[in-house]
A = this chain, B = another copy of it.
């Protein structure tokens, strides 16, 4: 019989608690054995629901002999150091996006893996596990669309927290598209421009144009105060046809003069399947001591493009994306 993967979770906020819930109710072969959060009450509540115990620090959790693998869902500023600690401990980790707050910090994580000589950290770009995005990537890869020329992306939230900032929208929200487009096209972003129709106050929505190394262009609209709900759209335009995410509501109603479907209210509901599949794939790989999925290099690249995007947003001009060289550990086909 298969042994159970013992998972420690750092961070018991909304994302961490949701991951624990998914791990315990929908992922086979895992047990959440330890939980850490600066807020001990929150950690206790989440740990009890999962049948695990509360760790006294993130470092203790990572070093614990009751923990085989780690989920990092703590505040963004702690991600890079915790990821490096997991690498030092030789334990597979799933680190929520972003991998780091700065590209330089993300590069430290990459370098830690390179020094170790193997990959241990998966970055939480869960969209790659969304059945819609996976189907879209397979359609692109099939060649049915011909050569890809353009990718159109829309990413909307009903409303943002009051602390939202222009740069924060890039690094917190648009970072998903910065990763997704590169992944969909097996290509890299080499230039970026971002502008907003709102010049006074929070620059929201933001419109970005991404230039890919292979020549394709991508548009991205991020609108964190779109009002009506959570909405993610993506259309790939090729020389032979187009393919788009199809909104997949389960029920349509006709009531009071409207033929309509509900729009999801948040990303957790919208991407629930993606999170489940992500955690299942990660746990399966981690049980074999490996990692799969988005790499720290992907996380670093997203940080680099986001930093160029912030500069573009602030300065108004197109920014080139300047990046370190891709280590052999992350060569295409190396996974």
- Using a CB–CB cutoff of 8 Å, the interface residues on chain A facing chain B are 1-2, 4, 24-31, 33, 51, 131-132, 134-136, 139, 144-146, 149-150, 152, 154, 158, 195-199, 205, 207, 209, 215-217, 219, 221, 223, 225-229, 231, 237-263, 265, 273, 280
Contacts and interface: CB of A to CB of B under 8 A. Distances in A.
Copies of this protein in the complex:
4
Given A209-B207, A256-B228, A131 B250 contact: yes
Closest 3 CB pairs of A and B: A260-B260, A241-B255, A248-B248
A293 to B, nearest CB: 16
Given A28-B29, A226-B239, 8 more contacts: A24-B28, A149-B197, A150-B205, A150-B221, A228-B240, A228-B255, A245-B251, A259-B260
Contacts of A239: 225-227
24 contacts: A1-B4, A26-B28, A135-B251, A139-B251, A139-B253, A145-B253, A150-B205, A150-B221, A209-B209, A226-B242, A227-B240, A229-B256, A240-B255, A243-B253, A244-B251, A245-B251, A246-B249, A246-B251, A246-B252, A258-B258, A258-B261, A258-B262, A259-B260, A273-B273
